[in-house]
Amino acid sequence: MTGSDTSPAARHLPSGAHHAVRPGSALLRLETTASREGVLDGAWWPRSRDIGAELPALVNALTEHLGPLTRVGLDATAWEELPTRIVVGDHVVHVDSFPVGDDTVLITRGDRDHFSLLVVPPDTPPEAARAAMAQSVSAGNLSEAEQILIDTASGAKPSGRPPS
């Protein structure tokens, strides 16, 4: 066993990962190339804004593909009761509040390996969510999360309803 085969830095997003995190709960899609040249590394479609219910499944799925994570960064204004840490297996993952907007989650593995995921709003229709997730994982995608949601109508409020 060599160090380069098992080190977290040697692991990258799997080609073609399209992973149901928990049936009926969330959907995770990761970039299909190892180059990581796009703006985003993947997309997450949680089923609610209850981060206590949604985050453990996301961290478990990412840990399976990327190895142990150290931090998750979220915009506290977008989630209900943001915890300061969660425990995955026997590993503590710190949860930080960043003003990244409700459309992005930042994942840190090790000290300097960062992943940025589009967050598709929970109430997004399936067709729009799939389009947003596909655009976010396109090799060389240069669109920011907010623009992807606008382009795919994933972040649009239904007409006739006042903004909340």
**Span 14-38, pLDDT tens digits:** 444 444 443 344 567 776 556 666 7
DSSP 8-state code for residue 138? S
pLDDT at residue 33, rounded to an integer: 55
pLDDT at residue 12, rounded to an integer: 47
CA distance 29 to 95: 21
pLDDT at residue 140, rounded to an integer: 76
In the chain, which residues have pLDDT < 50?
1-25, 157-164
pLDDT at residue 35, rounded to an integer: 62
Helix (H, G, I), strand (E, B) or coil at 29: strand
pTM: 0.76
Strands 71-74 and 42-46: unpaired
pLDDT at residue 7, rounded to an integer: 43
pLDDT at residue 20, rounded to an integer: 45
Contact 14, 30 (CB under 8 A): yes
Helix (H, G, I), strand (E, B) or coil at 91: strand
pLDDT at residue 29, rounded to an integer: 74
pLDDT at residue 31, rounded to an integer: 64
